[in-house]
Structure formats: C-alpha cells, structure tokens
Amino acid sequence: MTKISKKLQSATYVHDHQALFSCPVCGEKMQVFELKSLVCTNQHSFDFTKQGYLNLTTQQINTKYSKELFESRKMLMADVGFFDSLVEKITEQIHSFVNNSAEELTLLDMGCGEGTHLVKIGETLKVQNQPTTVAGIDLAKEGIKAAAKHYPGKIWTVADLSNTPFQSKQFDVILNILSPSNYAEFKRLLKTDGIVIKVIPQEGYLKELRELAFDDPAKHSYSNKETVELFHENFRMLKRERLQYTMSLDQPSIQALIEMTPMTWSVPIDRFQSLTSEESTKITVDLDVFVGVPK
C-alpha cells in the first residue's frame, strides 16, 4: 500500500473544507488547486509545505517560540498528559453549550501551538459520535510545523490572529487556551450560536516554578483580573469554572515544563535546580475556564 504524504493528507483535508477560507490579502474566497496550493479568485496563492501546513502570513514574522519549545510541549501534553483534565473539561463544556447534532462541528483553536489540545479534543468528540472539523492557527511557524508533523491531515495554518484566513461566521467553537486574544476576530468568525472557550491562569498556576523564578513574593501568585475584565467587556459569560489539580512529574517532564514556559525564559536555569534534581516533583495546575458568547 502506498503511503500518503503528510502534504497530500493535509491538502485533501483542506480541499474538503475549502469553503472556510478567505484570502488574507484581499478577502476573496479560496480553493485548493491540484492539491498543491490554496488560491483565491484574485490569484493570490499559498503553497502547502512538505510537512502539510499552510503559511498564510503576508509578511515575515519572527517569534521567540522555538522548535525545542514545541517539542517539549508535545511531550508534556501528548505523552505525559499534563493537561488531560483540561481537555476533559473543555469537551464537557462543548457538549453543554453547543447544540450537538449529526452535523459536523467546526472547531478553531486560536493560538494552537503544536496542536495537541485541539487534536485531543477533536478525537474525544469523535469517540463520542460528534463529527468535528478542526483547524489550528498560530503565528509561531515552529508550532504549526510541529502540529503538521505529529498530527497530519488537519488544517494547520501560520497566520495573524488579527487577520485570520477564514470566512465570517464559520465556527461553532473557538478555543483560546493560555494564549492572547483578539476579540473582534473571535466575534467575526463565530457562527450566530457559536461559543468561545477561553482558558487563563489562576493564581496558583505553576506556583512551584514561580516561587523559584522570582524573589518578589508578589510574583509568586498570578492575577488574571485584567484579562477577566476584558473578557466581560466583549462576551457574556455563560460559565466560569476553576480547574485545580497537582500532577507528579519526573525529571524529563520537569525539564520539558521549564523549557516550554515563557515565564522561565529570562530566569537563570540554576534557579530551578531544586526541581530538576528531584526524581519527581508535584506541580500545580490552576486554571479558569470561561465559556462565552458575543455581547
């Protein structure tokens, strides 16, 4: 049996869902041409990469998010299951607030990173007999490249979150997990009865790392007050739920956590020696999960 390339798997999937797309240059509709590129009616063309993702940015973008960071994230999320409880919670909320039917749900992860959250949620919904189209978007090319590598046959796009390459009112659910938001774009992309699920840190999130990273006790906990207020300005809160748990991580997992967490980037690595020298360490996950609809 001939093995289908990741590029062809993704191009076929995008072809089946090409009605979702709009050109990031001119806003016109797009279609897949010869399973090689995505082209708009004004002939703006974007090729599928050999890994299977699309780069739909219109200018060169540089970020601090490296290949190593996303490989650490993939290990911690997919292999260790560090955020599996969050995946379960989000899936519950989708069932609670979306009018489930035999129709296929459209699910967009804004700031998807290496894609593990989105894929796990989509697979869980599929097992529960809810067909789902999944699309992931991130400005960090290395994240999207990792997503396409590990999870071929999906929609993976490098794109500006303030100018997403999708038609208006296309998505039943927008996920925004530990990532910046663009609420105007969320509102444009959501279907009339669509929902946003936003996940932000609560005060105890990764407190074991914070206590080692910062001398100032005021920085040992996290305040999400401004983020909550901004969400309330733009969306009517259907539900707010706090998710708290601890998880024991071994040395490789602790190292991966330190590498993937932006909080640690400007901190000397030797500050975390007490964590990395232990065989296992309990780490706190403390999150707020919002479900909202546009006001």
Cα distances from 175 to residues 107, 122, 161, in angstroms, run 8, 12, 12
Does 13 count as an annotated binding residue?
Answer: no
Distance CA 190, CA 128 (A): 23
Distance CA 43, CA 115 (A): 29
Does 40 count as an annotated binding residue?
Answer: yes
How many CA atoms lie less than 13 Å away from 89 in the CB half-sphere? 21
Torsion of CA 239, 240, 245, 250, to 10 degrees: 90
Q: Which strand ranges, in their side-by-side order, compose the sheet holding 105-110?
A: 54-55, 155-158, 132-138, 105-110, 171-177, 190-201, 280-294, 235-250
Does 220 count as an annotated binding residue?
Answer: no
Type and span of the H or E element at 246: strand 235-250
Does 115 count as an annotated binding residue?
Answer: yes
Does 183 count as an annotated binding residue?
Answer: no
Alpha-carbon 24 to chain mean position = 20
Does 166 count as an annotated binding residue?
Answer: no
Question: Comparing C-alpha atoms, which of 133, 138, 137 is closest to residue 170?
Answer: 133
Does 83 count as an annotated binding residue?
Answer: yes
Q: Supply 14's token pair.
A: 């995008």
Instruction: Find where tokens 């009339």 sit.
Output: 192
Does 114 count as an annotated binding residue?
Answer: yes
Neighbours of 231 (CB within 10 A): 22
> Binding site residues for S-adenosyl-L-methionine, as ranges?
83, 114-115, 205
User: Which residues define the annotated binding site for Zn(2+)?
Assistant: 23, 26, 40, 44
Q: Could you list the residues known to form a binding site, using ranges.
A: 23, 26, 40, 44, 83, 114-115, 205
